[in-house]
Amino acid sequence: MLLRSSYLVLQNSSVCCTTNVIRHLQCRSPLHAAGLVGQCTKWKVQKTQTPLTRFSHQLRTFHSSPIRNRKNDLQKYTQKAKRWIFDAQVQLDKLVESVSPSAKKIMDNLVAGFRHEWANIQSYWKISKRKYNHPGSYISYREEMTIYNLNQDGIKAAPLLPIAVLPMGFFLILIPVYFFPRLVLPQTFWSKHQRYKFLSQIHRSRILDYGVIIHHLNYHKLNSDQNTKYALEGICNSLAGGNIPSNSDMLNNLKPLCKLHDGPCNVDHMVYVLLRAFCRTIMVSTYQPPSWLKYRLRKNASLVISLDHKLRREGLLNNLSSLELSTASMMRGIDGAELSREAQLYWLNNWLQITKTCDDDDAWFVLHAMVLMSYNYSELKYQRRAFG
């Protein structure tokens, strides 16, 4: 106890002496005195701090470390760069709009298209990752359509993405986009007016190919065996009279005929002219060898059958957006641009009844059904309730 008391007295006396020295130095050198005060305060803190105060002091030191400051500086620079890019984009939009309003509309469509494609890519990545981790997981109708749209538009969208990243990249693609939008741009980049115009052109051109397929069936109705004549007679007569074949004729007569290996409806044995007509029916590129065309036709027809099953399972048909409904109609052979929403829903409801009992082996039947059920369909047929 005596030693402890003497130690405390000595410590207090040293502090008092130090205080007197500091007061003496303040009169002569204030700066030196201030530094001495800081050192003494630090010495007192080190002598009296507990483990808890030492931890809090280290924590404050960590938060004010140079690494932390560098991170804060990086965030500030990033925010400044984003603000600068946003301001530059606003100024560029104003400049382009003042020079050419039509060019401004094209740029807006391009920006919207890039955002849509990027969203599709992200969704595709998530779906692929889920399929890899959980092979038996269910893929919904909308997820399946995301994959389909990305596969359809990927060839056109792939060159546009790196060009847009380049400085002034938008101006490099303005000329081909302005003069050849249907050839250069994917469907996600089309404006509402362009979509109506281009889809109408696509359907009117494939109606001519429908005539080639129907002529092929009429030929076999007249020149084939009795079973084939009987199966095709009712269907061909309905088409010749401007009507739509009944579901019973399609399912009871045409469907078994399409499964015959040597039958007239087997696409595997058809000539290139008919293959090209079916490709335009289901919106497959014709610039491929015949063997690839047959593979793509079967694959896309099987996809339509799978999508039909999911539409029925999810009860999603009446809840599709106008864009989704138009895409579904064009995939199945009818006009997705000029027909009203009610007319498209009416046709698709009847179509789902036809494909209810179909599987992957009925791919050729589905291709023929697209042509035969949509050839004479129109807004007037919907108003007259052609399907009963």
Q: What's residue 275's pLDDT? A: 94
How far apart, in whole angstroms, are the C-alpha atoms of residue 161 and residue 169? 10
List all residues 6 or more positions away from 309 whose beta carbon is below 8 Å from its beta carbon.
355
173-190 mean pLDDT: 80
- Can you give the pLDDT at residue 273? 94
375-380 mean pLDDT: 94
Tell me the residue type at 289. P
The single residue listed with the structure tokens 């692929």 is 128
Alpha carbons 241 and 218: distance in angstroms, whole number: 13
**Least confident segment among 177-186, 223-232, 339-348:** 177-186
Q: What is the pLDDT of residues 207-263, one digit of tens each?
A: 999 999 999 999 999 998 898 999 999 999 999 999 999 999 999 999 999 999 888
Long-range contacts of 299-305 (CB under 8 A, 24+ apart): 301/363, 301/364, 301/366, 301/367, 302/360, 302/363, 303/144, 303/148, 304/331, 304/332, 304/355, 304/366, 305/355, 305/358, 305/359, 305/360, 305/362, 305/363, 305/366
DSSP 8-state class, residue 101: H
**Residue 246 backbone zone (phi > 0: left; psi -120 to 50: alpha; other: beta):** beta
Q: How far apart are CA 81 and CA 171, in angstroms?
A: 22
Q: Domain-by-domain residue ranges, the chain?
A: 2-46, 101-190, 196-383
- Predicted local distance difference test score (pLDDT) of residue 75: 73
Asked whether the beta carbons of 185 and 177 are under 8 A apart, the reply is: yes
Pick 199 or 173 by higher pLDDT: 199
Question: What does the pLDDT look like over 136-164, one tens digit per residue?
Answer: 889 999 999 999 988 888 777 777 777 76
Q: Dihedral of the CA atoms 378, 300, 282, 247 (nearest 10)?
A: -30
At 4 the pLDDT is 40
